[in-house]
Amino acid sequence: MEVLLELQFRGILRRLEEVRAVRAGEWPAWCWMPIAEVARVLHEEYDYGAGPHYVTAQNPRYGLSAESDLGKDAARIAALGAFWAGGQHVVVLGAMGGAGSGAARFPRDLLSRWPSPCVYFAGWPAGGGAAGAFAHLEWNCAERRAELRVVLDSETPSLAGLIAHTVHLTGRTPAESAASMWLAAVMEDRVERGDDRLFDIVYNDAFTTAVTHAVSEGRGWLAAAGRLTDVAFHEAASVFGLAASTPWPPPRRPGALGPMLWLDEAVVDLPHGRPCGR
C-alpha cells in the first residue's frame, strides 16, 4: 500500500512526518496528524484541488467535506501515514464475540492509553467484510472533537479501496456517540444548504435507524480498540523464539522496512511460549 501511495503522491509520507515534527503541539499528542492538516499539505504542496471548504488547525472556520475526493484521500493518507510513522505494527486479536458485541461504554482512558499512532488489525474480526483495518485517533479541527477512525482494507490493495469510518469519542456510550455522529452529519448538510434551524428528532425514524446501525458497527470497533489498551500483546518473533522479547506498547519505528507482528494474549499459550493450538 505504501508503494501505491508513493506512486500517486511522491514522497508524501516523509513530507507529512516532516510537517508533523514542525507542527507537533498544535493538536493533541495522541493524534499523529489531523486529516485536515493532511488535506492542507495535499492541496498546497501536491496541487490537489480543494475548493474553498477545507480546514486547518489555524483556520477551523470551514469543515472539510468527508465526501469530497480530497476528504476521502486525506482520511486514507492520514491512516497510512500514522501507520508508517508508528512503525507498521500489525496485531492479531483474540475472539471478541462478533461485530455487535463489546462493552456498553467506551474503553477506559482510550486517549491516554492508545499504544501507537496507528495499528493494523489483521483479519479484522469486527465485521464489515474487510481483510483488515487500520485504526488511529483523529483530532477533528473544525469540531474540536476526538474521534476513533477505522479504515477498512480490502483483499485487493488499492488506495481507493480503503473505506474510512468514524466513531465520535463523545458521550459515555456507543449510542450517545452514534447520535452525535448522525446529528453532526445532518446539521452539516443543512448548513451547506443554507438552513441552520434546529429540528425535532424524537419521532424521526431515520434517526432511530441510523443510530441503531451505527451502534451495531461502533461497538465492534470500540471493542477492538479497547483490547489494545486492556490486554497484553506479544511480538510474534519472540513467541517463536526468533528474537528477544519486546514489551507492549510497541516502539515507534518511523520508516521501518517491514511490519512488526503482535499476538493478542488470548491467542498465545504463554506457559509454552507458542500460539494456541500449536
Do the Cβ atoms of 223 and 198 come closer than 8 Å? no
Grid cell for residue 9 = 503522491
Give the model's pLDDT for residue 82: 94
Q: What is the pTM of this model?
A: 0.80
For the chain, the residue count is 278
Residue range 205-229: average pLDDT?
Answer: 80
CA distance 147 to 194: 26
Least confident of 22-36, 89-103, 104-118, 226-240: 89-103
- Alpha helices (H) in the chain, listed in sequence order: 2-8, 12-23, 35-45, 69-86, 110-113, 174-192, 205-230, 236-239
**Per-residue confidence band for 129, with pLDDT thresholds at 50, 70 and 90:** low
CA distance 217 to 262: 24
| CA distance readout (Å), 126 to 5, 39, 100, 211, 216 | 26, 29, 8, 18, 10
Residue range 63-76: average pLDDT?
Answer: 73
CA distance 232 to 193: 48
Residue, of 55 and 121, whose pLDDT is higher: 121
Give the model's pLDDT for residue 251: 79
Per-residue pLDDT of 94-118, as tens digits, reads: 765 444 444 456 777 889 999 999 9
Residue 191: count other Cβ atoms within 10 Å of its Cβ.
11
CA distance 142 to 55: 7
CA distance 276 to 278: 6
CA distance 122 to 136: 15
Question: Among 153, 158, 143, which Cα is nearest to 34's?
Answer: 143
% helix / strand / coil in the chain, to the nearest 5? 40, 15, 45
Question: Among 136, 128, 184, which Cα is nearest to 35's?
Answer: 136
Instruction: Show Cβ contacts of residue 175 under 8 Å, excluding neighbours closer than 6 positions.
Output: 211, 215
Do the Cβ atoms of 222 and 174 come closer than 8 Å? yes
Do the Cβ atoms of 89 and 260 come closer than 8 Å? yes
Do the Cβ atoms of 38 and 20 come closer than 8 Å? no
Check whether 165 has a pLDDT greater than 60.
yes
Instruction: Show Cβ contacts of residue 218 under 8 Å, excluding neighbours closer than 6 positions.
Output: 167, 174, 177, 178
Residue 175: count other Cβ atoms within 10 Å of its Cβ.
16
